Amino acid sequence: MILGMSESPVDPSTADGKLPSPDTPPDAINLNVGGRELAGPNRGFGQLWRKVYRVRLVGADHSPEDVIRRWKVRFSDYWPEGSDFYGSRPRIEPGEVAVINLEGPGGAPLATGVAVIHADDRSFAFMTPQGHIFAGTITFSAFRGDDGRAPGVTVAQIESIIRAGDPLFEIGARLGIIHRREDTFWQQTLTRLAADFSVHGQPVEMESTLLDRRVRWRAAPNVWHNSAIRTTLYLPIHALRRLLGKPKRSKDSDG
């Protein structure tokens, strides 16, 4: 379930239930997206978490609609250095499938993606594919604050409902490595978004709630799709293609 969604989710997969793979620049690692299925929280392995990050745009005279409009257009500009978002369309729209290249632990790259399952004037939402670090949904929204803390101020918020995708990612989550990186990533994203609206020094608030402490053992075979393993195995091929000047296939079915 994606909180705050006003419309039915859009399924961007093809007729056989597999995601298409968008065209990407030659330097991008277009992997672990094409040919995969969507994987919401009910298909993940690890403990189920709800995480909320929000920043109050105090002093910025912008409506929630203004914030979402700019957020859709400049989405990847707010990401921390070392992470890239290669969307299939100029702006965030329902049905879009995007390739993501992240900086993993130790600086190693990790290639995965997301699909846009909802978008309106005040929010948009992604769902992850098989092999992603997390199986789940993430919703980006903006609204007027009404809790007595700077009432009427526009608030930008990120809310995720997630499980670690497989046993290996769950180990990283239990050790705190994956959750810390996830928290830092979205806190930095909201800090950059706020700065784009000339809001500086405003803290990013965070809530983290464990919704289900059990793991789903039936999802243990998800490790076959683990994006970290598959990216690591693919890197020598990607480096060789760049060295030889051969363009990488823009549509990768992931076999």
- Domain residues of the chain, as ranges? 41-220
Query: How far is Cα 128 from Cα 40, in angstroms, rounded to an integer?
Result: 7
CATH superfamily ID and name for 41-220: START domain (3.30.530.20)
Go through 208-238 and write b for each residue having 16 or more CB atoms within 10 A of its CB, e for each that does not.
eeeeeeebbeebeebbebbbbbbbeebeeeb
pLDDT of residue 26: 83
Per-residue confidence (pLDDT) for residue 206, from 0 to 100: 98
Q: What is the pLDDT of residue 129?
A: 97
Confidence at residue 245, expressed as pLDDT on a 0 to 100 scale:
66
CA dihedral 190, 192, 198, 201 (to 10 degrees): 70
CB-based burial label for 78 (10 Å; 0-12, 13-18, 19+): buried
Of 59, 56, 60, 108, nearest to 82 by C-alpha is 108
Q: In the prediction, which pLDDT does 149 show? A: 67
CA distance 252 to 29: 10
Q: How far apart are CA 60 and CA 153, in angstroms?
A: 8
- Confidence (pLDDT) at 21: 87
Low-confidence ranges of the chain (pLDDT < 50): 1-7, 248-255
Q: Dump pLDDT digits (tens) for 124-154.
A: 999 999 999 999 999 999 999 876 666 789 9
The pLDDT value recorded for residue 38 is 97
